[in-house]
Amino acid sequence: MDEVIVLGGGVIGLTTAVVLAERGHPVRVWTREPARDTVSAVAGGLCWPYRIRPERTAARWAVASLRTFTGLAGDPARTGVRMATGVLVRPWMPEPWASCVDARRPGPGELPGGEDPDSAVRATTALIDMPSYLRYLRDRLTDAGGHHERRAVRSPAEAGTAAPAVVNCTGLGARELVPDPRVRPVQGRLVIVENPGVEEWYVAAEPGSPDSTYLLPQPYGLVLGGTAQDGAEDLGPDPAATEAIVRRCARIDPRVLGARVLGVRTGLRPFRPNVRLEREDLPGGAVCVHQYGHGGAGVTVSWASATAAADLLGASA
């Protein structure tokens, strides 16, 4: 089968590489930075279709990907994936996603923070330890015969001179690489604290709001969030944002105020008005499948999106 170069080493690129390698393609992942430095490593890890369009496609992909994550949750020590129950306040909850995560109204005592029960649902979805999960994907790619290389390119066409097929999973990098001015950053900040005993996740997010409130218990600590600053690109520290995040989360669980801060993370979600998933014939005869612009739901839709990209490539590779 034809060799494929996958551009981008985040969760979309690695998942796509795994799908292709396990179908028998020789695969090389070319990435400017290691997986631990991508926006995927910064993600809180809750599977939920957040800030991604088109919404109908996102919901379908989220459902299909959750089936895969449910299987991976059978071995959390190896994959970093587990199924967890929590509360969503004012969620975007389309069918069939709502049924897939067993969404229901909270009962008495099941809703922290004094929210209106009519505005919230309890649900069970995948909660992923992203550093562990990215290592799992790298190992799975290697086991399937794929390779991972630190290498930057100036365009998909440049990669097309090294292999007959390319999949462009460069996320925000596609803005310059393609170039595609429709890709823009949505800055996300989160804070990691020692977990004071929080066992269930909690998320409250108004559609389009620059701020959200979430508490995600992970093996490495309690993840507090968050922000969604459209167009912001600063990756530096912002003490005021950190304080505001902790304060919002403390309204949900006051124990957060006394928790020791372990770290602060900032990432840039690669938002596009619609995820780009399409084929392009490159100069010289190679073919490129563009797959980027997944916003805040790259992890959530990763397996279905990767499969769709591999299917599209399969029509020509």
Point out the residues of the chain with pLDDT beneath 50: 315-317
| Rounded-to-integer distance, Cα 132 and Cα 145, Å | 20
Q: Thinking of the domain 4-314, which architecture would CATH place it in?
A: 3-Layer(aba) Sandwich (3.40)
Residue-level pLDDT at 119: 85
pLDDT digits (tens, 9 = 90+) for 1-44: 799 999 999 999 999 999 999 999 999 999 998 777 888 999 99
Separation of first and last alpha carbons in the chain: 7
Residue-level pLDDT at 317: 41
Residue-level pLDDT at 35: 76
Residue-level pLDDT at 172: 96
Residue-level pLDDT at 316: 44
| Rounded-to-integer distance, Cα 12 and Cα 122, Å | 28
* Cβ atoms of 134 and 11 closer than 8 Å: yes
SS3 content of the chain, % helix, strand, coil (to 5): 35, 30, 35
* Cβ atoms of 218 and 209 closer than 8 Å: no
Query: Which structure tokens are listed for 270?
Result: 């690669």
Share of the chain above pLDDT 90, in %: 86
Q: Is the pTM of this model over 0.85?
A: yes
pLDDT digits (tens, 9 = 90+) for 218-255: 999 999 999 999 999 999 999 999 999 999 999 999 99
